[in-house]
Amino acid sequence: MLGLLLCLVAPGLAGWLLVQRAWPSRRPVWRHALLKGTLALGWAVGASSCSFFAALVLGAATRSTLLVAETAFFLGMAILVAWAGRRTADMLPDEVGTVTRPRYWLRGLLFVLFLAALASAAAKLTSGWLRQQHGEWDARAIWNLRARFLYRGQDHWTDGFSSLLQHTDYPLLLPASVARGWHYLGFETTVLPGLLALAFTLATVGLLSSAIACLRGTSQGILAGLVLLGTPFFIQLGTWQYADIPLSFYILATLVLVCLHDGSPGARPALLTLAGSMAGFAAWTKNEGMLFLGSVVLARVATVAPGSGWKVLAREGRAFALGLAPVALVVLYFKGRFAGANDLIAGQGLLDIIGKLGDGARYAQVGQALVQQRAIEPLLLLPLVLYFILLGRARVPRLRSGVLLCLFVLGLMLLGYAMVYLVSPHDLTWHLKTSLRRLLMQIWPTAIFTFFLFTATPEEALAWKAALAAPPRLAD
Amino acid sequence: MSWRVFLGSLLIIFIGIRATDSVGLAWPVLTTAADEVGKDDLSGWDGFCRQVVKPQLPDERVIGYQEPLLLAANTDQARNDLAYHLSLLQYSLAPTLVEPTPDHRVVIVVSPSGVQVRIHGGR
């Protein structure tokens, strides 16, 4: 237990101070604390998996060396950040985009529903872990297997990238985090990957709820969390210990930070720097994270350059790159030095790919799969559509660029997924059947985030109604 | 929009969410954690490989793997079964690499009668 605490404390403290530095609050509010806590957790797991990988490469991945070196590194960083943060005077308002009077009875009602769904999801995650302590197929064949090689392999840890194994090009955030935890504990346990899966699943819910609460109001935030908690396949993926959930967390975290930046009064480049780190961690989690990284950069260029100009874009780009660069170096080093060939590209010529892109039947098959597999339950989508019709569109100009960015990213990600399927060298039916629903879950929390950013809040809807009902005031 | 309509819309959301999840989320609340312990059949296999098979293996980084299916893996089902067994064995024996050919000094043979380790020649 002490090992687990030591493994978390130093990177967790550094992560918390980094987030606090990027976004100081006027006073402690639950939504701020939850938002910062989930972001700090994500940063801590990502950064410590990078430091563990560095220790492996340097041949220093022993318990005592890790304990001393990582604690010194992360505490040093924490002290530096705390010292630099003293000079930050300007604070953000408690809620960025909400101006309406809170309705406490409504919050209370929603909060009770949220707690019920949260308890249900936590029970599902726990019982799922008890039933499958080693996770589902991909967890055993890829993520936890790789963690075993990193931990048990000692000097031969690179055997985990042998051509005898599959998907050796997959990045290491998850396996390195599990193996690092085992090093700190001094023994292997299935509790650790289970806890990590639970933490990422619930942290994604917490991040979504708190981000919407900060940007659009508490009731809206609780509703957003309720929708994610009520997505059965999302919770199921958490019990399977797949990397799709951590990836969905980092995708959401990146876009939340950019939206907070855009919605804040005054320039806050530290939020973009943190967003850069989160985007890097997405690429360090799964190959689809690289697609996301490309998408978010392209979407930012498309949404900022026309309105604000290239100078603003360059300034933002520098802040983003500052956070991204260290993680990108780790990913590039891993890809160049250890990763095997990608199964989607290897063995395919340009003519093969062009031939598949020209095959209309493949487009139809991908489209059909989207409908037939019911990737997102229609019974979940329909209430959201009704909700939007009833409440209408939000009127917060400050968040317009954030919404546009999210929509761009979601569109580009969907386009990227479709391209992968269209040129896939595998049997397309099998490929779609085994992965489509998982891929959509990677962007589902972001889709919910965008929806509740874009839709009016319950308080706004009630305020408009009250304004319409009020008698007209005479001019002075 | 009246508050009744708004509450109605909330209800629709909630019912919709719950309806999609009639089994997935509601039942585990009623399921005691203790009932789930021991249902993980992979833990038994993993423990068997660690405690019985692993001690028999000499210090070699790659071992062979053979089972009846390997010899007749010419159907989709046979190939899937082979991939599944191999994946489980690889997971449990890591960091020893397992190769699905019997051309190694150490060969693990999985058959309906059990798991055997064959070692050809001495070191």
The mean pLDDT of A367-383, rounded to a whole number, is 75
Question: What pLDDT, on the 0 to 100 scale, is given for residue A41?
Answer: 96
A453 pLDDT tier (thresholds 50, 70, 90): very high
Q: Is the model's pLDDT at A258 over the cut of 80?
A: yes
Using CA atoms, how far apart are residues A49 and A43, in angstroms rounded to an integer? 10
What is the reported pLDDT for B15? Answer: 57
Alpha-carbon distance A342 to B77, whole Å?
25
Q: How confident is the model at residue A180, as a pLDDT? A: 96
Q: Return the pLDDT at B5.
A: 59
Q: Which residues of B touch A133 (CB under 8 A)?
A: 40, 42-43
- Write phi, then psi, for B107 (nearest 5 degrees): -130, 130
pLDDT by residue (tens digit) across A115-162? Answer: 888 888 888 888 888 888 899 889 999 999 999 999 999 889 999 999
Q: Contacts of residue A113 in chain B, CB cutoff 8 Å?
A: 14
Mean pLDDT calculated for residue range A33-61 = 95
**High-pLDDT (> 90) share of chain A, %:** 49
Higher pLDDT pick, A272 / B77: A272
Predicted confidence at residue B28, as pLDDT, reads: 46
Query: Whole-prediction pTM value?
Result: 0.91
| Alpha carbon distances (Å) from A194 to A41, A200, A383 | 16, 10, 32
Asked which of A1-10, A32-41, A190-199, A436-445 is least confident by mean pLDDT, the reply is A1-10
Minimal Cβ distance to B6: which of A120, A379, A390: A390
Asked if A133's CB is within 8 angstroms of B40's CB, the reply is yes
Report residue A146 as tokens.
């790789």
Q: Which position has the higher pLDDT, A381 or A171?
A: A171
Q: Check whether A89 has a pLDDT greater than 60.
A: no
B13 vs A227: CB contact, 8 Å cut-off? yes
CA distance B88 to chain A (A): 8
B interface with A, Cβ–Cβ below 8 Å: 1-3, 5-6, 9-10, 12-21, 24-26, 28-29, 31, 33, 36-37, 39-40, 42-43, 46, 61-62, 87-88, 90-91, 94-95, 97-99
Q: Are strands B114-119 and B97-99 parallel, antiparallel or unpaired?
A: unpaired
Q: Select the residue of B25, B90, B97 nearest A120 (Cβ to Cβ).
A: B25
Distance CA A271, CA B83 (A): 46
In the predicted model, what is the mean pLDDT of residues A152-178? 93
Residue A232, token pair as written in the block: 């059965």
Handedness of CA B45, B51, B56, B62 (dihedral sign): positive
Return the pLDDT at B23: 43
If you count residue pairs, one on A and one on B, with CB atoms under 8 Å apart, how many are there?
141
Closest Cβ–Cβ partner in B15, B29, B36 for A119: B29
**B91 to chain A: which residues are within 8 Å by CB?**
134, 140-141, 144-145, 148
How many C-beta atoms surround the C-beta of residue B52 within 10 A? Answer: 12
Return the structure tokens found at A405: 């960015």
Q: In angstroms, how far is the first alpha carbon of chain A from the final one?
A: 69
Please report the DSSP string for A97-144 in residue order: S--SPP-HHHHHHHHHHHHHHHHHHHHHHHHHHHH-TT-SHHIIIIIH
Tokens 């933002």 correspond to what residue?
A316
- Other C-beta atoms lying within 10 Å of the C-beta of residue A420: 17
Which positions in chain B touch A391 (Cβ < 8 Å)? 1, 6, 9
In chain A, the percentage of residues whose pLDDT exceeds 70 is 90
C-alpha to C-alpha distance for A255 and A180, rounded to whole angstroms: 28
- Residue of A237, A207, A210, A233 whose CA lies nearest to A221: A210
Does residue A21 have a pLDDT over 70?
A: yes
Alpha carbon distance A281, A173 (integer Å): 7
Residue A278 corresponds to which amino acid? M
Residue A4: is its pLDDT beyond 60? yes
* Single-letter amino acid code for the residue at A235: I
CA distance A85 to A19: 10
Contact of A242 with A143, CB cutoff 8 Å: yes
Burial class (CB in 10 A: 0-12, 13-18, 19+), A112: exposed
Beta bridge partners of B111: B114
| Mean pLDDT over the full length of chain A | 87
DSSP state of A161: G
Six-digit token string for A448: 């919910």
SS3 A168: coil
| Helical axes A63-85 vs A30-57, angle rounded to 10° | 140
State the CB neighbour count (10 A cutoff) for residue B1.
17
pLDDT of residue B22: 45
Q: Give A275-288 as a DSSP string.
A: HHHHHHHHHHH-TH
pLDDT of residue B122: 41
DSSP-based helix, strand, coil % in chain A, nearest 5: 80, 0, 20
pLDDT for B34 equals 44
- Structure-model confidence comparison of residues A475 and A244, the more confident one: A244
Q: Which residue has the higher pLDDT, A376 or A57?
A: A57
The string of pLDDT tens digits covering residues A340-362 is 888 887 777 888 888 888 888 89
> Which whole-number Å values give the CA distances from B1 to A343, A387, A462, in the listed order?
54, 12, 7
Q: What angle do CA A160, A161, A165 make, to 5 degrees?
A: 85
Instruction: Tell me the ipTM for this assembly.
Output: 0.85
CA-to-CA dists, residue B90 to A145, A166, A181, A280, B5, angstroms: 8, 11, 22, 30, 58
Q: Model confidence at A277, in pLDDT bands (50, 70, 90)?
A: very high
Question: Per-residue pLDDT for A24 more than 80?
Answer: no
Residues of chain A with C-beta less than 8 angstroms from the C-beta of B10: 109-110, 223, 458
Residues A41 and A203 sit within 8 Å (Cβ to Cβ): yes
Confidence check: pLDDT of A390 > 70:
yes
> Which residue of chain B is at minimal alpha-carbon distance from A376?
B20
Shortest alpha-carbon distance between residue B12 and chain A (Å):
6
- Percent of chain B, pLDDT > 70? 58
pLDDT of residue A391: 81
Asked if A145 and B9 come within 8 Å (Cβ–Cβ), the reply is no
Partner-chain contact B62 A164, CB within 8 Å: yes
Q: Maximum distance among all alpha carbons in chain B?
A: 85
Chain segment A315-331, per-residue pLDDT in tens: 999 999 999 999 999 99
Residue given tokens 């302590």 in the structure block? A133
Q: What is the DSSP letter of B51?
A: I
pLDDT over threshold 80, residue A91: no
Per-10-residue mean pLDDT, chain B, length 123 = 62 58 48 50 80 84 79 69 82 90 82 75 45
Of the listed ranges A36-45, A97-106, A125-134, A394-403, the one predicted with least confidence:
A97-106
CA distance A272 to chain B (A): 34
Chain B residues with beta carbon closer than 8 angstroms to that of A126: 28, 33
